Structure 1
């Protein structure tokens, strides 16, 4: 145990130890001041004067003598700070300010003052220090610069990753990196991208225009190029100066020399443990590529690699989907004598960019032609496969010469037999272009449109049945047939809902917008088809292309009947109330579209009476013809034909009679009417003045 009485060893210390406070302050760039508030005098010791770069003779203990060293705006800020501290009872204050040196340079300075008060709290003196804070500010600025550089690097990775998140294809990845916004994000002069393909590197993006070198489009992995080295070693390659380019890669120098490039970083793009590509980032400045910047570039390369791998997979699936879709659609549209045909298909922008929409044009016996538009539920390969099967089946049934209703019923039964949970909508048109008669069958699809030669466009309210596949489930395979007349110059518009449906907009509004575009569009069907697609893309905005779309336009050739505003013709079979109801709606729509809205109800009522009489008193169908000629009188002519030779008789009904009122009603509502015998029956006609 140590002896408690032992003396402490003698230690030698300097004679001036401990140092005087003045020496301590002076050695640390500090000086003191003593400000007597009553007299207003402020004493400053020599070190304090050195802080302000003043000689003792230049200072007379008055604060005003510092005006040459403290700029006015800094002096005003310090005066306000001191006044506030004196007033609110503070016992100290401190502030940074800039002082002007003898050579005019500004130097950061710090002042700290202790306020001495009397017993009443009144301030009497301020004793404090001033010090040179330029080194402190420099260190702080360096730290801020480092933090700012770190934030900038982090921002580069974050913003680039965010931009790549929206890129689906390789082309979109390239655009996100190499466009003006991408280069600005990276702080780069140019960006190139190469993909590894069978031992070679294919340059898929040369960046800015004028930087492409044809003989460098393909390079081997074993070549002496930076991109090749990166792929071989799976490590980045940094080129810090132009001299390194010139002497390290002489074969590349002729391409680099004319460009504003002084350094570059080549990064491997690795996905699932294998190199899929390499990216070169070029800078207009020389760079040492310090550790922090290299770490950022490595993180950036990893993000780009993941996006590129995803994009390459998407492009492969898209190519497969596009090939499958094209295989399912008709290879070509046959020439149709007496008509012009235009078709368009746009794939969906979701899923695998594939869907179940289709079109077809089928030559039929006796010179007729069938136009088909349809949509299988879904946006995947299953939908496309069903579409292909359904299109082939419809074509086979139609080519056999079956009636439109039979073709549709058999197609529905076929889809049901496939034991799938999908259904399909479809519109089938059997057109005789020699006479203009078109029989239309609709299975859950949207109505077609008809643009007359004179420019009027209207929606055809075609009677419809259940969608294909569903009809068989409910054992309702009866599809009503609507007959319309295509005059020379008329254009039939068939489309799927992808052309008219928009998020948040009612389907009827979309159909009205479509009718307006069709009405105002060009006469040529190919130009009109392009116009309709462009209009749909503009109207859809960001959501355009979310659904696939098919379009078919059929225009009957011939000299338009310029003396006719419009023409309507329809066959109405007996014992078919749906056909009679559909005819009423079509007559009302046609008459109003022709500008006879004020008399549309009268015309519809007379037509309904004549059609009902024809169906009740004859054994066959009724044929309705309505025609509005161009003339000063604008008389609409309504004709109802049947196969009976018995002429109708007008008779007055008794008080309790329930019949005999039909022709009386016609006589009261029509301006003129009559009956004409025909070879196969008769025709009851009437005319309405529609001025």
Structure 2
């Protein structure tokens, strides 16, 4: 039998081969281990020849800048290595290590391993980092080669495929899909794969490769509990289990849930990013009883790649949720109810873009039952675009609520955007509609024409005269926005939308509009269902733009008789015009079949005109409108026709009702209007205001006089 004994140094006097034992430099050079010396005070690093070869950096292009040492690594992983080093220095650790992918100049992909030792002075301050750089590609290849012969190619292919999929992963859902969507797992004997994410002191299982192994009770576990995922997160140490007996002994509470899956071994890996646990990976194997050192190293390296991808995905999801929340907060919280019309709105953020966009919609209730609807798009896809959108939406809403004409609303909004400290512009489509009559005024600023679905299902483009986008028109003299008049018949639906709904990269915009028109024609009758249908059909392809749409449909049983109007201007110091205004009220009441309330309306109009002439510096405009009876449209018997008396002036101050003393000669005008009219109020109107009152048809009833609104 051969004798076995330990090695001992040669006896004294025995000849020693030249150069023996070899120096440390020779050891490193012959084994492809490079070294670096990083002087932290000078912020300079020295790479020896082997380190330069491992990092694929030529001597002539490396000037000692530490950043150049990491420049050859994958960008995301270079940043992760940099954070690892800084964290080790800040936390006072003696050493650090990292694996990273590397793409060489000839296109080959590989891995490098970096490890450094921190040298500190007597006060504990880090002065130098001395370390090694190794081309780890062969190590990982050899680790894969040590797997069972029948699984050798499958294992390496799985790692490569998963790594490639993780490189493309954007969201947490993408990461789980890359891990659970690979068909090679069954051939590797993986019974199930679990991915957990650390959330608020708990491990949340966010994905499972096998539906049959999903355990709802274990979806959330505390980190301090005795479960394998919790343990590896708590200890930052992988856990390899090589028998069912070991599994049952270590985790008795979990084993009854795992035993039906028939595992023979398991591997649980902590997912660590920047030195902090962000999750855990669990793999259950069939017909496996051991993990070789190479297998363990390969799984740990794979866990590092998964951790970096998961961290990027978590940050993306957080940013996306924050951005989407900001965007939602800037859109209207509620849509007002508009008698005689139905409105549906939808917004969808971009699927591929990281940031939010500037698309918006808005609905503004106007006096007299009218409504203003808006769809716009601020240039850009970032938080600045969203901020500009929020300011522009509020300004445009204020101009509309003040009673400005559509062209004036758009011109003022363009001037407002031009005066902001921004280089962004915006396209916009603005419409004022009267559901009672169907009369609609449309103004377009560099936007897409709206579509109309008629009551019979026919879809047509509504050609609209347009001006320059908001913010640009003010740069070329006074902005001009022509107004297009249209009429919505009962049952017609107006569709306004942003270009994100129809625009696709590499496709013609007209093709997208035709596709939208087809979806609008074939969509369901219900307006809310129709909005969902359009969003689904047009949102199927992934897009880098957000989208907004607004549907306004006039009631199908609305009366088509237009409201009757009369106007009279009353100038300062013109008693004759005041007499003519009173006569116009009486004539209109007789012509419209409401002579019974002519005296009340005439007296109220006289008081409102007098107040405007006495308390303002300009004249006044009297407007009479007979609003049609909406009872047939809503099935409410006894709801009267209404005569609306409006007096417009240019003063910004609003009138207030007061109780005059016995000796005062004025102050009773609004008290008189309050007693005579069925309702009264004050509304902004352009640069001034409008004081109004209403009289219901005496033949159909109304409220008791003296109850003001507004």
Name the TM tier (shorter chain). 0.5 to 0.7
For the residue of structure 2 that corresponds to 1:257, the secondary structure is: helix
- Give the distance between the partners of 2:165 and 2:555, measured in 1 at CA: 51
Deviation at 1:222, TM superposition (A): 3.2
Deviation at 1:185, TM superposition (A): 8.1
Give the equivalent residue in structure 2 for 1:255.
257
Range 309-318 or range 187-196, more displaced: 187-196
If the length of structure 1 is used for normalisation, what is the TM-score?
Answer: 0.58
- Give the distance between the partners of 1:473 and 1:171, measured in 2 at CA: 46
Q: Is the 8 A contact 1:156 1:186 kept in 2?
A: no
Give the equivalent residue in structure 1 for 2:278.
276
For the residue of structure 1 that corresponds to 2:539, the secondary structure is: helix
- Give the distance between the partners of 2:370 and 2:468, measured in 1 at CA: 26
Match of 1:348 among 350, 365, 381: 350
Deviation at 1:172, TM superposition (A): 2.3
Q: 1:452 to 1:182 in 2, by over 3 A?
A: farther
Match of 1:228 among 230, 233, 238: 230
Q: 1:224 to 1:429 in 2, by over 3 A?
A: same
Q: Is the 8 A contact 1:487 1:561 kept in 2?
A: no
For the residue of structure 2 that corresponds to 1:343, the secondary structure is: strand
Match of 1:417 among 405, 416, 419: 419
Range 478-487 or range 449-458, more displaced: 449-458
- Give the distance between the partners of 1:260 and 1:533, measured in 2 at CA: 45
- Give the distance between the partners of 2:145 and 2:197, measured in 1 at CA: 40
Deviation at 1:546, TM superposition (A): 1.8
Deviation at 1:146, TM superposition (A): 6.3
Give the equivalent residue in structure 2 for 1:452.
454
- Give the distance between the partners of 1:468 and 1:561, measured in 2 at CA: 36
Give the equivalent residue in structure 1 for 2:484.
482
Q: Which ranges in structure 1 are unaligned for 5 or more consecutive residues?
A: 1-141, 563-691
CA deviation map 1:277-300 (0-9, x unaligned): 111011122230112211221121
Q: Is the 8 A contact 2:371 2:434 kept in 1?
A: yes
Q: 1:185 to 1:170 in 2, by over 3 A?
A: farther
Range 355-364 or range 281-290, more displaced: 281-290
State how 1:296-307 maps to structure 2 within 5 Å: 296-307=298-309
Q: Is the 8 A contact 2:158 2:184 kept in 1?
A: no
Q: Which ranges in structure 2 are unaligned for 5 or more consecutive residues?
A: 1-143, 561-710
- Give the distance between the partners of 1:557 and 1:197, measured in 2 at CA: 50
Match of 2:170 among 168, 171, 176: 168
Q: Is the 8 A contact 1:453 1:560 kept in 2?
A: no
For the residue of structure 2 that corresponds to 1:250, the secondary structure is: coil
- Give the distance between the partners of 1:280 and 1:143, measured in 2 at CA: 23
Deviation at 1:144, TM superposition (A): 11
Deviation at 1:176, TM superposition (A): 2.2
CA deviation map 1:599-638 (0-9, x unaligned): xxxxxxxxxxxxxxxxxxxxxxxxxxxxxxxxxxxxxxxx
Q: 1:421 to 1:350 in 2, by over 3 A?
A: farther
1:244 pairs with 2:242: no
Q: 1:508 to 1:560 in 2, by over 3 A?
A: farther
- Give the distance between the partners of 1:406 and 1:311, measured in 2 at CA: 46
Q: Is the 8 A contact 2:340 2:435 kept in 1?
A: yes
Q: What count of residue pairs does the alignment treat as equivalent?
A: 418
Q: Is the 8 A contact 2:191 2:261 kept in 1?
A: no
Rg larger in structure: 1
- Give the distance between the partners of 1:174 and 1:466, measured in 2 at CA: 46
Deviation at 1:479, TM superposition (A): 0.6
Match of 1:357 among 353, 356, 359: 359
- Give the distance between the partners of 2:418 and 2:549, measured in 1 at CA: 26
Match of 1:559 among 550, 557, 560: 557
1:550 pairs with 2:552: no
Q: Is the 8 A contact 1:369 1:430 kept in 2?
A: yes
- Give the distance between the partners of 1:342 and 1:525, measured in 2 at CA: 6
- Give the distance between the partners of 1:218 and 1:144, measured in 2 at CA: 36
Deviation at 1:360, TM superposition (A): 0.8
Q: Is the 8 A contact 2:154 2:188 kept in 1?
A: no
Match of 1:369 among 349, 361, 371: 371
Give the equivalent residue in structure 1 for 2:520.
518
CA deviation map 1:412-446 (0-9, x unaligned): 11111112111000000000111111000000000
State how 1:113-192 maps to structure 2 within 5 Å: 149-179=151-181, 181=183, 183-184=185-186, 187-192=189-194
Q: What do you get for the CA RMSD once the two structures are aligned?
A: 2.4
Range 495-504 or range 162-171, more displaced: 162-171
Deviation at 1:384, TM superposition (A): 0.9
- Give the distance between the partners of 1:358 and 1:331, measured in 2 at CA: 12
Q: Is the 8 A contact 1:347 1:545 kept in 2?
A: no
- Give the distance between the partners of 2:217 and 2:510, measured in 1 at CA: 57
State how 1:2-41 maps to structure 2 within 5 Å: none
- Give the distance between the partners of 1:451 and 1:391, measured in 2 at CA: 27
- Give the distance between the partners of 2:225 and 2:387, measured in 1 at CA: 46
Q: Is the 8 A contact 1:177 1:183 kept in 2?
A: no
Give the equivalent residue in structure 1 for 2:704.
none
Q: 1:392 to 1:484 in 2, by over 3 A?
A: same
- Give the distance between the partners of 2:346 and 2:145, measured in 1 at CA: 62
Q: Is the 8 A contact 1:355 1:379 kept in 2?
A: yes
Give the equivalent residue in structure 2 for 1:602.
none
Q: Is the 8 A contact 1:348 1:379 kept in 2?
A: no
If the length of structure 2 is used for normalisation, what is the TM-score?
Answer: 0.56
